[in-house]
């Protein structure tokens, strides 16, 4: 018997032996599986009593899930225990348990509850009034999409069952509350319909009858529902818990890629630099971000809100150190301020920056298969014309992984999406060096950025990674660029039910785009006699890229691996074999597809069509596949597939921004303004806060606030008059006096006088 399991059952028995009548383990050697609602692959319900904690019953799809087990004989059953293989994934969360001698009659059940995991994170035990029966049914909910149970054990009462029935309590979960929430009614019910009484077990609450009242403090409330016993039924209890939070405890969480560790290097004072901001606040069901503003040298600006981030296009007009503050206010009134002192200088010098520095990825260790870390890089506009990545792959402790592993390096974009910059396949058990031009990603390889490295390793050694980025000074052909992700996923190749799995994507062209390209990274995986043609790794296929339904590019997905394209020599294994889009011990170079012919179109439809003549005849979705006849195994599982990443890179000498396709950056130089807007400021006089009414104004609009001496104190940008009119202006930090508010757009402008007095 597995040692871990011995500890598991020994612990349970020591707990149960304290009852009036001893509780004994029903030997698992007599268990038999009757039925499960589903299983994933070979992971069947019989594995829950095989004495092996490393196997598990794994269900398919969402719950509830059901399992019926024959205990081998009738027992006075009074409890069960569960153990999951891992502490978190797929744990049992909620359950109903039934005991019977007749599988056509299950009755009301013995207990409804949520698993507690009070002692260990992967073990739970519960018990109930003893009921005589041979068959046990568990209806289970899982903590993840699927259920993964390693072991079940059932217990019996040494004393004979009294003949009474259990009366399970259904006690609906209580959602998270705030300290200011009003009293509410508890609504537990017993299976018999008997009356429920309640008691507070612990936490900041009181209960009177079925009304629970919070005591204005934060904490965890545990409340018990109780149903009394009778001549025919056992008494029953059920405890649930919920969290009470104080909204005043939460502050906005603010981050920016803008750093003051390095200067902001610009071509000249006519260029723009995007300040990207991420702002959030915990407990988003109750709280939100109310306001984001940026102060630069005392002047206030309102950034543009996008999906997942904010940005402000900044045009520094002086080479000096600027005081930049990002001020974020939560809906609870709490404020977080992030300050940066940004030195702005003209021009740049070639430099090399180390990002990953001897990062070790080793299965089962700290970075088991993934590494996440933030790294700082130059920040610039128009001062570097080339970025080359030099990747050093070493063997930690002279022990490299033996196998060729799929790997990639990606960076986090302003909206939190991860953008692949390098696709890589590790060598067979040797160290190597590699380089690749990453200039296309210049707009994102700036400031402080999170890197993510993944290696599909499962042991036999590790990898040590160092990534140096060489920034070459010079004016690029286009000062600005932007990245837009098109595809990122795993797609079947030759699946008979879906020969073309890659979805069409509508790409919205960034305004003012002068040049663009599609960066396409594809590597083929899956091989063997159960994959027709040894696909996809060893199958030479050709695929098409289409724009608006017309083929524009033929992708010949085949790489010559001997000699190794990155001069990675001395490998073991089959490194000399040519492969689909990659070679062991080499960066997989992407295809770069010119899209300049489409920059004038507001949008284009992009399609990626796999070679239509290929079908995997051994695929489980092929109805004609017969195991042992047409193929050795129609359910082998390692079917042909491609790992695909693609992005459109847009270039311009006009400012463009990540994630912004419709708005021109900055405020236009308004000309031919023939409208004179009549503004409404209220209240006026103001004690500091006021609103602006703008009848007749459409489109983008700018707002400036001046004092009588002509000094501009604040400047704001809005996408629409609706956005402007809903904004609460705050100038309470200014001195009392007379100010002028100017509103302008491409059609006209208006000025109104505002009195500030307190």
As averages over each run of 10 residues, the pLDDT of the chain (758 residues) reads 40 42 92 94 93 91 92 96 84 93 94 86 91 96 85 94 94 96 97 97 98 98 97 95 98 98 97 96 96 89 89 93 96 97 98 97 93 98 98 96 96 98 97 98 98 93 97 98 97 96 96 95 95 96 98 98 97 96 98 97 97 95 93 89 98 93 53 69 94 84 83 78 88 90 83 92
Domain boundaries for CATH 2.60.120.260 within the chain:
3-164
**Residue extent(s) of CATH 2.60.40.60 domains in the chain:** 170-248
Residue with tokens 């196997």: 55
Secondary structure element (H or E) that encloses residue 58, with its range: strand 57-58
What local confidence, expressed as pLDDT, does residue 403 receive? 95
The total number of residues written for the chain in this structure: 758
Distance CA 419, CA 444 (A): 9
CATH class for the domain made up of 3-164: mainly beta
Architecture of domain 252-346: Sandwich (2.60)
Which CATH fold topology does 170-248 show? Answer: Immunoglobulin-like (2.60.40)
Contacts of 126 (CB under 8 A, 6+ apart): 79, 80, 81, 97, 111, 113, 115, 116
Is the previous residue joined to 64 through a cis bond, with omega within 30 degrees of 0?
A: yes
How far is residue 718 CA from its own chain's centroid?
30
Q: Which residues contact 207 (CB under 8 A, 6 or more apart)?
A: 186, 198, 199, 200, 213, 223
What is the Cα–Cα distance from 60 to 646, expressed in whole angstroms?
31
* Secondary element (H or E) of residue 725: helix 721-725
What pLDDT score was predicted for residue 9? 44
Helix (H) or strand (E) holding 11: helix 3-16
Instruction: Enumerate the CATH 2.60.40.3080 domain ranges in the chain, comma separated.
Output: 675-756
Residue with tokens 């010098």: 349
Q: State the DSSP H helix or E strand holding residue 141, giving kind and residue range, or none if neither.
A: strand 123-142
351-473 is a CATH 3.40.630.30 domain: no
CATH no. of 675-756:
2.60.40.3080
Cα(414)–Cα(256) distance, integer angstroms: 9
Q: What is the C-alpha R_g of the chain?
A: 33
Decide yes or no: CATH 2.60.120.230 for domain 480-652: yes
Q: Is 461 helix (H, G, I), strand (E, B) or coil?
A: coil
Every domain range in the chain assigned CATH 2.60.40.10? 252-346
Quick one: pLDDT at residue 302? Answer: 82
Cis peptide before 489 (omega within 30 of 0): no
Give 27's contacts (C-beta < 8 A, 6+ positions apart).
none
Cα 250 to Cα 248: distance, rounded to the nearest angstrom: 6
């Amino acid at each position: 018997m597995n040692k871990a399991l011995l500890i598991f059952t020994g612990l349970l028995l020591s707990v149960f032996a304290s009852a009036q009548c001893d509780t004994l383990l029903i030997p698992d050697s007599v268990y038999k599986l009757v039925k499960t609602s589903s299983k994933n692959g070979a992971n069947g319900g019989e594995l829950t009593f095989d004495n092996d904690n490393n196997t598990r019953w794994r269900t398919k799809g969402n719950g509830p899930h059901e399992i019926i087990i024959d205990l081998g004989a009738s027992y006075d059953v009074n409890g069960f225990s569960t153990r999951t293989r891992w502490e978190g994934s797929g744990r049992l969360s909620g359950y109903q348990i039934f005991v019977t001698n007749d599988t056509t009659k299950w009755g009301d059940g013995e207990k409804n509850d949520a698993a507690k995991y009070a002692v260990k994170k992967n073990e739970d035990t519960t018990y109930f009034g003893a009921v005589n029966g041979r068959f046990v049914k568990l209806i289970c909910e899982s903590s993840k999409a699927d259920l993964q149970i390693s072991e079940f054990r059932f217990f019996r009462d040494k004393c004979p069952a009294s003949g009474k029935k259990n009366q399970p309590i259904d006690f609906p979960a209580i959602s998270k509350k705030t300290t200011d929430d009003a009293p509410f009614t508890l609504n537990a019910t017993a299976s018999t319909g008997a009356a429920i009484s309640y008691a507070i077990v612990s936490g900041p609450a009181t209960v009177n009858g079925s009304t629970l009242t919070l005591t204005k403090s934060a904490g965890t409330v545990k409340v018990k529902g109780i149903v009394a016993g009778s001549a025919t039924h056992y008494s029953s209890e059920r405890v649930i818990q919920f969290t009470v939070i104080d909204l005043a405890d939460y502050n906005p969480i603010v981050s920016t890629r803008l750093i003051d560790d390095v200067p902001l290097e610009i071509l000249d004072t006519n260029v723009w630099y995007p300040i990207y901001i991420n702002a959030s606040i915990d407990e988003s069901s109750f709280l939100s971000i109310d306001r984001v503003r940026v102060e630069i040298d005392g002047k206030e600006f309102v950034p543009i809100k996008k999906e997942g981030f904010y940005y402000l296009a900044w045009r520094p007009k002086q080479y000096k150190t600027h005081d930049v503050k990002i001020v974020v206010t939560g809906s609870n009134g709490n404020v977080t301020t992030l300050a940066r002192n940004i030195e702005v200088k003209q021009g740049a010098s070639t430099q090399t920056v180390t990002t990953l520095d001897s990062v070790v990825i080793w299965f089962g260790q700290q970075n088991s298969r993934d590494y996440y870390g933030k790294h700082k890089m130059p920040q610039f506009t128009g001062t570097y014309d080339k970025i080359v990545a030099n990747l050093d792959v070493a063997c930690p402790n002279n022990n490299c992984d033996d196998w060729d592993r799929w790997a990639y390096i990606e960076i986090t974009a302003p909206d939190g999406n991860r953008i692949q910059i390098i696709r890589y396949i590790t060598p067979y058990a040797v160290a190597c060096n590699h380089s690749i031009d990453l200039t296309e990603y210049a707009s994102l390889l700036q400031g402080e950025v999170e890197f993510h490295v993944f290696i599909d390793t499962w042991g036999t050694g590790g990898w040590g990674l160092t990534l140096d980025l060489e920034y070459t000074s010079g004016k690029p052909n286009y000062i600005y660029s932007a990245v837009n992700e098109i595809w990122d996923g795993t797609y079947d190749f030759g699946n008979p039910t879906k020969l073309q799995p890659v979805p069409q994507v509508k790409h919205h062209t960034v305004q003012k785009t002068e040049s663009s390209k599609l960066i396409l990274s594809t590597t083929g995986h899956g091989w063997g006699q159960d994959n027709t043609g040894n696909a996809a790794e060893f199958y030479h296929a050709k695929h098409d890229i289409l724009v608006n339904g017309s083929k524009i590019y033929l992708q010949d997905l085949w790489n010559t691996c001997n000699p190794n394209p990155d001069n990675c020599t001395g490998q073991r294994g089959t490194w000399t074999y040519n492969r689909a889009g990659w070679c062991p011990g080499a960066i997989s170079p992407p295809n770069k597809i010119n899209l300049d012919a489409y920059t004038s179109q507001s949008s284009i439809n992009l399609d990626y069509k796999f070679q239509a003549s290929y079908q995997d005849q051994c695929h489980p979705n092929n109805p004609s596949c017969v195991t042992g006849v047409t193929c050795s195994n129609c359910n082998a599982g390692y079917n042909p597939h491609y790992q695909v990443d693609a992005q459109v890179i847009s270039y311009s000498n006009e400012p463009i921004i990540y994630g912004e396709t419709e708005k021109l950056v900055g405020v236009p130089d308004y000309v031919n303004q023939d409208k004179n807007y009549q503004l409404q400021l209220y209240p006026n006089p103001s004690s500091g806060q006021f609103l602006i009414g703008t009848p007749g104004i459409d489109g983008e609009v700018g707002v400036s606030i001046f004092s009588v001496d002509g000094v501009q104190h604040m400047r704001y940008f809005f996408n629409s008059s609706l956005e402007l009119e809903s904004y609460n202006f705050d100038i309470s930090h200014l001195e009392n006096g007379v100010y002028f508010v100017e509103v302008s757009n491409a059609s006209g402008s208006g000025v109104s006088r505002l009195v500030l007095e307190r």
